[in-house]
Amino acid sequence: MPGNASYDDTTSTTIKYYLKSIEDNFFNEFVLFDYLKNNQRVITGGEEIVLPIQEAKNTTVTSYTGYDTLSSVPIKPFTAANYVWKQYSGIGLANGLELAKNSGEQAYINLWKARVDNLVESFKDTMNIDMFAVSSGNAILGLQDLVADAGTGTVGGINSSTNTYWQNQKAQSVGGSANYLSKMQTVFTACVFGRRSPNLIITTETMWNNYSLLLEPKESYVMANGNTHNAGFPALSYKTLPLHYDRACGSGRMYMLNTNSLFLYVHSDKNMTHVGPFDLVAKDQDGKGVRVFLYCALVTNSRRSNGVLSGMT
């Protein structure tokens, strides 16, 4: 028996083999974040994000003849939705001994880079979850705020109870799969305004599977062709639109989104890209750290262009 029970002839003379990549066994797909990040609006500053909105028509337009009296009532058809910045931060750390061990030819995987990559993925995961949720604490507005189950609520400073044009489309208590197609048709049609219509549908994994099984007997199972989005996520198709599932999507929901009216605003200086300095540990500690910041807001300038089916079973 060897003097050190942990090392015999083989283990003392053989180097262990390590795959030179770390397999992800934690994070899910970031479908919504990926779509909106690719279509994000990067701006350099501003106290708030203000989106001008046309909320009424000019009612003085009318036919007349001869010396009819014409209206001279001033019409004020514009308002704006305003959104505040939300702040996110995360930190990656490594002590000196960890970095010393993970150096030279013995470093099959760069530990520091892997931890920074994990930090960035953690950012994406947190943002994707918050995008589907109801805003709480310091989090951004989520889809359950902007595209609410009831279609109502005050968003961007506009009360949709008194300004009904600011309500999103919805179908509540949808129920089982026998109701899916008719409810989807109703919400989709309600979201169409001229040439503007939803271009992305996201639901839960369970609802995605149910929709798939619903279509298969009709031989209408269609895979998205990839021309709309090349992220590689599994997609079915509804009216040629990609229909994805995202595990962060709220239970029993399906969102029909128009990403030309739903935006992720990010600050150019705080966009998960500035990752220094590397001296965030205390002066009397051995190591280095990196803090990542994101200033952002999830906003809409047309709630009516987006819809949700809720209560799907």
Task: Render pLDDT for 13-36 as a digit per residue (tens, 0 to 9).
Answer: 555 555 565 554 545 678 898 888
Q: What is the pTM of this model?
A: 0.86
Number of residues written out for the chain: 313
| Cα atoms in the 13 Å half-sphere on the side-chain side of 264 | 22
Q: What angle do CA 13, 18, 19 make, to 5 degrees?
A: 155
Judged against a pLDDT cut of 60, whether residue 275 lies above it is answered with: no
Question: What pLDDT score does 310 carry?
Answer: 98
**Residue 163, pLDDT score:** 96
**Which has more pLDDT, 8 or 151?**
151
Closest CA to 154 of 255, 303, 308: 303
pLDDT of residue 228: 43
On average, the pLDDT of the chain sits at 86
In this predicted structure, the answer to whether residue 288 has a pLDDT above a threshold of 70 is yes
At residue 78, does pLDDT exceed 90?
yes
Establish whether the linkage from the previous residue to 277 is cis, with ω within 30° of 0.
Answer: yes
Per-residue pLDDT tens over the stretch 196-221: 999 999 999 999 999 988 887 654 44
